[in-house]
Amino acid sequence: MLSSDTVSLAPAAVNPAEQQESDTLTSLVMQIVVRRDLLDAEGWGVGPLMAQVAHATAAVLHETRGLPETQAYLEDLKNMRKAVLQTTNQASLQKLSDLLSASTPPVPHHLWIEQPENVPTCIAIAPNRRDTRIKKALDKSSSRLWKG
């Protein structure tokens, strides 16, 4: 029998829906932003765009391999989350990169520039917990979820 001044060590009941929402908000995610005009106006195929995404994600994971968020992301392969977004053109992609770089502290990301053409194609943002700096930069650069 517990006295009134004894603290119970039993865990508090947690609503499963609230726990899932909390886990979703704090789970790690990578945001990948692709120039939509490459598909629509420049005539790039889906395959070449997927290759650009693969290049950028491999690069940012390599460059940030020492960060705790990247290490945790890579240790949980079954629960990796990525959000693919689109931006309108090269100028909006460059604006996003500039905003991420100008954040305090800077947001780790990789702007992939396809060679030998020297064409910026996409950005991969290092694994993060939905940082507000990233949301603001995405909003200011007119990035939104990729639409088929």
Query: Which residues, including other chains, have CB under 8 Å from residue 87's CB and lie 6 or more apart?
Result: 33, 34, 35, 36, 93, 96, 141, 142, 143
| pLDDT at residue 41 in the model | 87
Encode pLDDT of 26-41 as tens digits. Answer: 799 999 999 999 998 8
Orientation of helix 68-75 relative to helix 46-63, angle to 10°: 120
| pLDDT at residue 20 in the model | 47
Residue ranges of the chain with per-residue pLDDT less than 50: 1-12, 14, 16-24
| pLDDT at residue 4 in the model | 38
| pLDDT at residue 47 in the model | 96
**How much is the pTM?**
0.82
| pLDDT at residue 6 in the model | 36
Domains along the sequence of the chain with CATH: 28-145 (3.40.1490.10)
Q: Where are the alpha helices (DSSP H) in 5-120?
A: 16-26, 37-40, 46-63, 68-75, 90-102
Residue among 94, 119, 113 at smallest CA distance from 55: 113
